[in-house]
Amino acid sequence: MFAAENGLKGDPRLQAISNAIRVVPHFPKQGIMFQDITTLLLDHKAFKHTVDIFVERYKDMDISVVAGVEARGFMFGPSIALAIGAKFVPLRKPKKLPGEVIAEAYELEYGRDCLEMHVGAVEAGERAIVIDDLVATGGTLSAAIRLLERFGAQVVECGCVIGLREVKGQLRLNGKPLYILVEPREIDGC
């Protein structure tokens, strides 16, 4: 579900967020239109709008865990967690967390990857959201959901700054709602 279809239609913050995202053609390979959120982070107003919209959505949902997917979910997740009074749980690539971890492998378009989380980071019954910058196929979000649910957390929703209107991977999210702020930009208007 897009924010503009859920009460924010015409909200100028969404346009400001979209305008702040730089499009880098053919990165990291030919044919990819990379959605670079570093320019969003440089625009303090657009960055604040991004966090504020997520906070407005989640503040009254009794969320106790905000799980951020490495690495860009780390840029938004902690601010959201602080604002709604939840803990932040980093979901990292392999061998980045010290101590005992639990892992969840997932399929990518061209291979496999894995997310890890500290054992004991979440408890059974905790209500969680998963935050990332972009959703395309849903593979990473699906792995994040499975990882949290293995410890008994209840994943309420996944939130992404950018998402394709026809997210092919939404079926992979096991019925979990997906909240997206803006669609990918096609050209760099900066």
Which pLDDT score, from 0 to 100, does residue 190 have? 43
pLDDT in tens, the chain (190 residues): 889 988 999 999 999 999 999 999 998 888 888 999 999 999 999 999 999 999 999 999 999 999 999 999 999 999 999 999 999 999 999 999 999 999 999 987 667 899 999 999 999 999 999 999 999 888 899 999 999 999 999 999 999 999 977 665 565 688 899 999 999 988 744 4
DSSP string, the chain: -BGGGTT-TT-HHHHHHHHHSEEEET-SSTT-EEEETHHHHHSHHHHHHHHHHHHHHHTTTT--EEEEETTTHHHHHHHHHHHHT-EEEEEB-TT-S-S-EEEEEEEETTEEEEEEEETTSS-TT-EEEEEEEEESSSHHHHHHHHHHHHTT-EEEEEEEEEE-TT-GGGGGGTT--EEEEEPPPSS---
89 touches 122 (CB < 8 A):
yes
Which pLDDT score, from 0 to 100, does residue 29 have? 86
Which pLDDT score, from 0 to 100, does residue 140 have? 92
Q: Which of 22, 56, 70, 72 is catalytic?
A: 72
The token pair that represents 121 in the structure block: 């980071």
98 touches 117 (CB < 8 A):
no
Which pLDDT score, from 0 to 100, does residue 170 have? 61
Annotation says 109 is catalytic: yes
Annotation says 72 is catalytic: yes
Which pLDDT score, from 0 to 100, does residue 173 have? 84
Which pLDDT score, from 0 to 100, does residue 167 have? 63
Q: Which of 109, 112, 165, 166 is catalytic?
A: 109
Which pLDDT score, from 0 to 100, does residue 171 have? 59
